[in-house]
Amino acid sequence: MVTLHLSHESANLKRSVIRDLLSVASAPDIISLAGGLPASEYLPIEQYQECLDTVLKREGSRILQYSPQYAPLRAWIAEYMVKRGVTCTPSEVIITNGAQQGLAILSRLLLDPGDPAVIEQITFTGIQQVTVGRGAAVITVPTDLETGVDLDALEKAFQRQPRLAILIPDFHNPLGVSLSLEKRQRIAELSARYEVPVIEDDPYSALRFEGTPLPPIKCYDEEGTIFYLGSFSKMLAPAVRLGWIVAPTDLIPRITALRESFDLESSILTQTAVYEFLAHGWMDEHLRTFNAANLVRRNALINALQQHFGGEVRWTEPEGGLFMWVTFPETVNTWEVFDQAVKQKVVYVPGGAFAVEGGYTNTMRLNFSNARPEIIQEAISRLATVIQATPELL
Amino acid sequence: MVTLHLSHESANLKRSVIRDLLSVASAPDIISLAGGLPASEYLPIEQYQECLDTVLKREGSRILQYSPQYAPLRAWIAEYMVKRGVTCTPSEVIITNGAQQGLAILSRLLLDPGDPAVIEQITFTGIQQVTVGRGAAVITVPTDLETGVDLDALEKAFQRQPRLAILIPDFHNPLGVSLSLEKRQRIAELSARYEVPVIEDDPYSALRFEGTPLPPIKCYDEEGTIFYLGSFSKMLAPAVRLGWIVAPTDLIPRITALRESFDLESSILTQTAVYEFLAHGWMDEHLRTFNAANLVRRNALINALQQHFGGEVRWTEPEGGLFMWVTFPETVNTWEVFDQAVKQKVVYVPGGAFAVEGGYTNTMRLNFSNARPEIIQEAISRLATVIQATPELL
């Protein structure tokens, strides 16, 4: 076999540890708090099936054709953004295959390999893939577990003229933290002042179960430097694979060309079926049920942690989303105990998987949305066994 | 508004002219021979609806979740490749959102901006997007309208150590030409000898309505240098947005990571529904009906061209696929008459849109799959009016 020369641009890309963990976690007797999966039992399968059915019957075979982006869906998204306080017209919306495709497209739009890019020290692996994984010269900024990204550090990073910054405003993956209104305003100001494009990766804001909804950073975009990414994967169902970009109008043709070079288009059948779901007005009720269940599960997770772990173990208490971040004493290494956890039939994501420059070996990300409360209780009980069985710990 | 710095890598990317034409062509009274659309009326909508229905009922809400690639579909694809003569196991198959995503992924895997890449002088715009559009130093090779890509030119190009070459073995888009068995073998030999990866872009081979099916270039891959791209978009329906890569096993983890960085995954609902269609054995019958209709339409197009245009106009006679390539006398400029054609309510793609280095202004690509025979007859009659009304032509 010939050994092929591979691109520099693919050399830095690592497979997400989480995706590997998801394979382990698919064994039926394992309790997984690892993936970013919404609760299967609350996915609106009957309603979505009805939507598919209606659309297939009403539209006929042209619904299986190539098609421009579905205009009513773009209009719905624009209206949704306006309700959230963003100035937005349908012509500023581009439909994508989920928010990850938005990240990949905007990274290509704004960043060449070797260019500086700002990301958080601890951030979603998909954000690392489109920056570190494309050979960017990454500048990291720390994130406070209570208040989110450190703005002094962000400003210093912006002074180095990076090509972009990627931030998560609500229910940060993996930390669970959200940004205050003031921080959002200030990020928009910094973005405009230093002319640094900020990509606001927001797949989770609709998953709020406590506290007051906050407007996106994009609301405060005065100079056309904020790019917003939304997703139906978390709001509705992962298998619809639909999200959207809101971008300045003058960049829409170029973003459209990039999107086409990636995979032409999203399925018109799926776009139309998702719009049917929205037009029925089913989203609000779905989100109420979904978020109510997530709140119960988050509380179950907090209770279980309180019951099994003493004062040296700390966790974030997110007001929505899917994830909680747990910090153990320095002596606990969550990579090292992972195998024992698998033996005890429980899995999580070691926090180090999200740490761009390594470290954070005493942390883990726990998902609370994809297991019933009693299962969460059992999972944490097993985890306590594993960690307490490790002699030098706690 | 701030003017943002854009990446060099996105600067070279142009929107496909064809996608713009498709917008023009969507006016209801226009006859379009422009797009690469299969016949809507032969898309198997009732069967596909039955598949979706079965799968949604059988699998329950987990079919709307995140999921690893659907193993039975990978196995079906591997078996399909084996039937076509390729040594292939399911572990060498990666499911993509259509063949375009395969092109985008493999371009990222093998090519950095500035690297040399070999493509045909006249080729599919999606292939131009992942080479020219990524800033590759493109080396073009000519293609004969009867026999396909010129192998002497290809060998000379390979001697310049390009990072990849992209070729279309069957029913070339836009030329309609297919490669002989000998040419396929020789391409594989050249690829191995010069260690140049060849991407075999094959969305059309299942659309053969005449002549003898030929094995893919991948059949003759001795050194793991041939990457194969297939697609269900043309075989089954564009809106399923599913295709596949067959690649050497040692590169699968890296290709998987790239695919995840692009958009995580393809919908498990769609993957399972398409597999259901295949498991029913419905593909063979669907392709028989579909290809029979395409043959009638290709013949209608040839008849209409013979009737309206004299001996100075030439066209390819493809044995399958969707496209025919028409060459007019040098005096005809298909860009210039396009507006008049729109006024006469008929559209095509000017051949120049596919010409990497420009020129070919006297050519056009005609699609024969997406209009009934009598409509094709009417379209060519209108086109003849336009071209004959232009005084200096013919």
Amino acid at A390: T
Contacting residues of B for A112, CB less than 8 Å apart: 7-9, 113
Residues of B in contact with A41 (CB under 8 A): 61
CB-nearest partner of A263 from B6, B35, B101: B101
In a domain, A267, yes or no: yes
Residues B34 and B176 in one domain: no
Q: Does A52 touch chain B (CB under 8 A)?
A: yes
Angle formed at CA B121 by CA B118 and CA B125, multiple of 5 degrees: 85
pLDDT at B388: 84
Residue A119 has a pLDDT of 98
pLDDT of B377 reads 97
Residues A98 and A18 in one domain: no
Chain Cα centroid distance, residue B340: 28
Strands (E), B24-136: 31-32, 93-96, 116-120
User: Do A37 and B65 count as a contact with CB atoms less than 8 A apart?
Assistant: yes
Is residue A196 a contact partner of residue A160, using CB atoms and an 8 Å limit? no
- Backbone angles phi and psi of A208, in degrees to 5: -80, 130
Q: How many Å apart are CA B143 and CA B173, to the nearest integer?
A: 12
Q: For chain B, how big is the Rg over CA atoms in Å? A: 21
Judging contacts by C-beta atoms under 8 Å, the chain A residues touching residue B195 are 2, 4
Report how far residue A215's alpha carbon sits from residue A84's, in angstroms, rounded to the nearest whole number: 6
Does the CB of B41 have a partner CB in chain A at under 8 Å?
yes
Measured CA to CA in angstroms, residue B112 lies from B42, B153, B227 at distances of: 41, 23, 18
Whether B178 and B240 map to the same domain: the answer is: yes
For A325-338, the pLDDT digits (tens) are 999 999 999 999 99
Domain boundary among B281, B302, B334: B281
Distance of CA A85 to the CA centre of its chain: 21
Of A68, A112, A238, the CB nearest to B9: A112
CB A271, CB A70: distance < 8 Å: yes
Within 10 A of A250 (CB to CB), how many other CB atoms are there? 11
Residues B324, B315 contacting (CB under 8 angstroms): yes
Q: What residues of chain B lie within 8 A of the CB of A109, using their CB?
A: 6-7, 10
Asked if the Cβ–Cβ distance from A52 to B48 is below 8 Å, we say no
CB within 8 Å: A48 and B64: yes
DSSP codes joined into one string, B354-384: GBTTS--TTEEEEE-SSS-HHHHHHHHHHHH
A4–B251 CB contact, under 8 Å? yes
Which run of H or E residues covers position B282?
A: helix B282-308
**A372 Cβ contact partners less than 8 Å away, ≥ 6 residues apart:** A297
Q: CA-CA distance, B309 to B303, in Å (whole number)? A: 10
Q: What is the mean pLDDT of residues B262-283?
A: 97
Domain total in chain A: 2
Domain boundary among B240, B262, B281: B281
Interface test with A, best of B103, B222, B251, B263 (most A CBs within 10 A): B263
A74 min Cα distance to partner chain B (Å): 16
Best B1, B4, B56, B63 residue to mutate vs chain A (most A CBs within 10 Å): B4
Q: Is residue B53 part of a domain?
A: no
How far A69 CA sits from the closest chain B CA (Å)? Answer: 11
Chains A, B: CB contacts under 8 A, how many? Answer: 260
Nearest chain A residue to B102 by CA: give it. A263
User: Alpha helices, DSSP H only, in chain A?
Assistant: 8-11, 17-25, 45-59, 71-83, 98-110, 125-129, 151-158, 181-194, 232-235, 252-263, 268-279, 282-308, 338-343, 373-389
Both B145 and B206 in one domain: the answer is yes
Closest Cβ–Cβ partner in A2, A6, A115 for B110? A6
| Secondary structure tally for chain A: helices H, strands E | 14, 15
pTM for the model stands at 0.96
Checking if the pLDDT of B22 tops 70, the result is: no
- Number of helices (H), then strands (E), belonging to chain B: the values are 14, 15
Q: What is the pLDDT, as a whole number, of residue B77?
A: 98
- Is any Cβ of chain A less than 8 angstroms from the Cβ of B10? yes
**pLDDT reading at B392 higher than 70:** no
Residue B303, min C-alpha distance to chain A (Å):
27
Strands B116-120 vs B164-167: parallel, antiparallel or unpaired: parallel
**Chosen from B53, B54, B267, B322 to mutate, greatest number of chain A CBs within 10 A:** B267
The answer to whether B294 and B369 have CB atoms below 8 angstroms apart is yes
B50-59 pLDDT tens trace: 999 999 999 9
What pLDDT does residue B311 have? Answer: 80
Do B45 and A65 lie within an 8 Å CB cutoff? no
In a domain, A225, yes or no: yes
Q: Do A261 and B130 touch (CB under 8 A)?
A: yes
pLDDT at residue B27, as a whole number = 77
Question: Does the beta-carbon distance from B254 to A113 stay under 8 Å?
Answer: no
Query: Cα distance from A387 to chain B (closest Cα, Å)?
Result: 29
What average pLDDT score do residues B123-139 get?
A: 96
Residue B54 domain flag: no
User: Three-class SS of residue B242?
Assistant: coil
Write the residue in B6, B98, B258 that is nearest to A13 by C-beta.
B258
Round the average pLDDT of chain B to a whole number and report it.
Answer: 94
In a domain, B376, yes or no: yes
Within 10 Å of residue A42's Cβ, how many Cβ atoms? 17
Q: Sign (positive/negative) of CA torsion B108, B10, B23, A280?
A: positive
| Residue A201 near residue A127 (C-beta atoms within 8 A) | yes
Tell me if A277 sits within 8 A of A45, measured CB to CB: no
Quick check: B95 contacting A, CB < 8 Å? no
- Please say whether the beta carbons of B358 and B211 come within 8 A: no
Rounded Cα–Cα distance for residues A350 and A214 (Å): 30
* Test the B interface: residue of A49, A61, A201 with most B CBs within 10 Å: A61
Q: Note every long-range contact of A20-27, with CB atoms under 8 Å and residues 24 or more positions apart, other chains counting.
A: A21/A347, A21/A349, A22/B66, A22/B68, A23/B68, A24/A342, A24/A347, A25/A347, A26/B68
Does residue A55 lie in a domain region?
no
Q: Is A45 on the interface with B (CB under 8 A)?
A: yes
Please, what is the Cα angle at A40 between A37 and A43, to 5 degrees? Answer: 105
> What chain A residue is nearest to B231 in terms of C-alpha separation?
A263
- Lowest mean pLDDT, pick from A12-16, B33-37, B155-159, B187-191: A12-16
Residues A362 and A383 in one domain: yes
For residue B90, what are the contacts with CB-CB under 8 A and spacing of at least 6?
B71, B74, B75, B77, B78
Q: Do A188 and A228 meet the contact criterion of CB atoms below 8 Å apart?
A: no
One domain, residues B266 and B198: yes
Collect all residues of chain B within an 8 Å Cβ-Cβ radius of residue A165.
none
CATH number of the CATH domain containing B238? 3.40.640.10
DSSP state of A313: -
Whether B267 contacts B239, CB under 8 Å: no
Beta bridge mates, B369: none
pLDDT digits (tens, 9 = 90+) for B334-391: 999 998 999 999 999 999 999 999 999 999 999 999 999 999 999 999 999 999 876 5
CA angle A279, A264, B263 (to 5 degrees): 75
B65 vs A32: CA distance, rounded Å = 14
Q: Which position has the token pair 């499911």?
A: B95
Question: Residue B295 belongs to what domain range?
Answer: 8-44+284-389
AA identity, residue A181: L
Please name the residues between 134 and 153 in chain A that touch chain B, using a CB distance below 8 Å. Answer: none
Which residue of chain A is at minimal alpha-carbon distance from B58? A45
Taking an 8 Å cut-off on Cβ atoms, the answer to whether A45 and B66 are in contact is no
Which residues, including other chains, have CB under 8 Å from residue B334's CB and lie 6 or more apart? Answer: B328, B348, B350, B351, B352, B361, B362, B363, B364
Measured CA to CA in angstroms, residue A101 lies from A75, A130, A242, B239, B394 at distances of 20, 10, 9, 18, 49
Cβ within 8 Å of A, B 284-343: none
With CA atoms as reference, report the closest residue to A260 among B118, B119, B130. B130
CATH of the domain at A40: 3.90.1150.10
Binned at pLDDT 50, 70 and 90, residue B163 comes out as: very high
Burial label, B159 (beta-carbon count in 10 A; 0-12, 13-18, 19+) = exposed
* DSSP structure string for A70-83: -HHHHHHHHHHHHH
At position A208, the amino acid (one-letter code) is: R
Instruction: For residues B127 and B272, state if they share a domain.
Output: yes
pLDDT tens track of chain A, all 394 residues?
888 888 888 887 877 777 677 667 667 789 999 989 999 999 999 999 999 999 999 999 999 999 999 999 999 999 999 999 999 999 999 999 999 999 999 999 999 999 999 999 999 999 999 999 999 999 999 999 999 999 999 999 999 999 999 999 999 999 999 999 999 999 999 999 999 999 999 999 999 999 999 999 999 999 999 999 999 999 999 999 999 999 999 999 999 999 999 999 999 999 999 999 999 999 999 999 999 999 999 999 999 999 999 788 999 999 999 999 999 999 999 999 998 999 999 999 999 999 999 999 999 999 999 999 999 999 999 999 999 876 555 5
- pLDDT the model gives residue B393: 53
In this structure, are A90 and A157 located in the same domain?
Answer: yes
The CA distance from B99 to the nearest CA of chain A, in Å, is: 8
Q: Which residues contact B270 (CB under 8 A, 6 or more apart)?
A: A239, A267, A270, B240, B241, B242
Classify residue A51: in a domain, yes or no.
no
Domain boundary among A247, A281, A315: A281
Predicted local confidence at residue B317, as pLDDT: 96
CA angle B4, B6, B7 (to 5 degrees): 155
Residue the block writes with tokens 């090519």? B111
Same domain, A180 and A311: no
pLDDT, position B379: 97
Query: Does residue A272 share a domain with residue A194?
Result: yes
Task: Return the pLDDT at B87.
Answer: 96
Let me know whether B115 and B132 are in one domain: yes
For chain B, the farthest-separated pair of C-alpha atoms sits apart, in whole angstroms, at 66
Chain A environment of B55 (Cβ under 8 Å): none
Residue B16 at interface with chain A, using a CB cutoff of 8 Å: yes
Q: Tell me how far the alpha carbon of residue A341 is from its chain's centroid.
A: 25
Q: Which residue of A has its CA nearest to B162?
A: A5
Residues B236 and B127 in one domain: yes
Q: Residue B31 domain-assigned? A: yes
User: Does any CB of chain B come closer than 8 Å to the CB of residue A24?
Assistant: no
Q: Which among B49, B68, B264 is the nearest to A98, CB-wise?
A: B264
Contact B84, B219 (CB under 8 A): yes
d(CA A267, CA B207): 22
Q: Give the β-pairing of B243-246 and B143-144.
A: unpaired
Of A199, A232, A9, which is closest to residue A107 (Cα–Cα)? A199
Query: What amino acid is encoded at A340 in this protein?
Result: Q
In one-letter notation, the amino acid at residue A374 is E
What is each CA distance from A326 to A32, A102, A306, in whole angstroms? 15, 29, 12
- Is residue B10 very low, low, confident or very high in pLDDT (cuts 50, 70, 90)? confident
